[in-house]
Amino acid sequence: MFRIRNLMICLIAVSLSGLANPGQQALASDADHVIHMQSGQVVLELVGQVNNSGLPAPLGSSIQYGYLSALNGLDNVFSGIPEDESTARFTFYTEVNTTRVTSHGPFSIIIRDGTTTLYLNSLPATFATPDSFRSGTPIQVSAIHQQVILDTVEKTFTVVNMNTITSSWRFLPDGQMLKIGEPGEGFRTSLQGVLLVRSGGVPPPTGHFVGYAVGVRNDDQNDREDDHRPKD
């Protein structure tokens, strides 16, 4: 009887310790649901618009906003039909300042730095209201370095962004806890765009763009990949 009583006391103590700190158990179980920025893999696709400004002087700034049309590891990034900004479950908002502008023949090479925030969308977004793309809950913030190559004759542009994640938070879509990347991970975005003046419109917005992002290798990823390589 003495041994059975001690065993029951130990089991009760273990159960109570788990109830006293449920968050720790949840974090441990949720750790496997991270969408890592795997090197060389397409991690997301996006659709957006850009508004450029002459402020602050002398080189100006830019906001770039839109939605994710695909996200690696998640089957459905839309809440319904049509699959556009109004039903997008994930949106982004980028704020950058221009640090250098270089002319080269018909090209204008623009360098910018700032931040990009991904959101779990809460209300239907609309391109008529740029702030609607940051009305949701932030789930990731990254530092961004941007190079824009603008064809001043054709009024088209290409963009390469290098993003390094500084913060990321868990969120709960479809009953499964997820997290998009970890701090220190990176992704490279390639965009193709056209200025609104070429398509017959009058800014704003300055232009439209589409593109995709691939994961970029870093030291933490090297360690994770080494852990999964067969041992000799």
Residue 132 has pLDDT above 80, yes or no: yes
The overall average pLDDT reported for the chain is: 85
From 21-35, 138-152, 203-217, the region with the lowest mean pLDDT: 21-35
Q: What is the mean pLDDT of residues 55-80?
A: 95
pLDDT value, residue 223: 53
pLDDT value, residue 167: 98
pLDDT value, residue 2: 43
**pTM for the model:** 0.81
Q: What is the mean pLDDT of residues 57-62?
A: 96
pLDDT value, residue 19: 39
Q: What is the mean pLDDT of residues 155-162?
A: 98
Six-digit token pair at 121?
A: 């969308």
From 9-18, 147-156, 170-179, the region with the lowest mean pLDDT: 9-18
Taking a C-beta distance cutoff of 8 angstroms, is the pair 137, 168 a contact? no
pLDDT value, residue 227: 54
* Burial track 19-34 (b if 16+ CB lie within 10 A, e otherwise): eeeeeeeeeeeeeeeb
Q: At 58, which helix (H) or strand (E)?
A: none
Chain centroid offset of residue 220 CA: 19
From 25-39, 95-109, 165-179, 190-204, the region with the lowest mean pLDDT: 25-39
Residue 121 has pLDDT above 90, yes or no: yes
Q: At 123, which helix (H) or strand (E)?
A: none
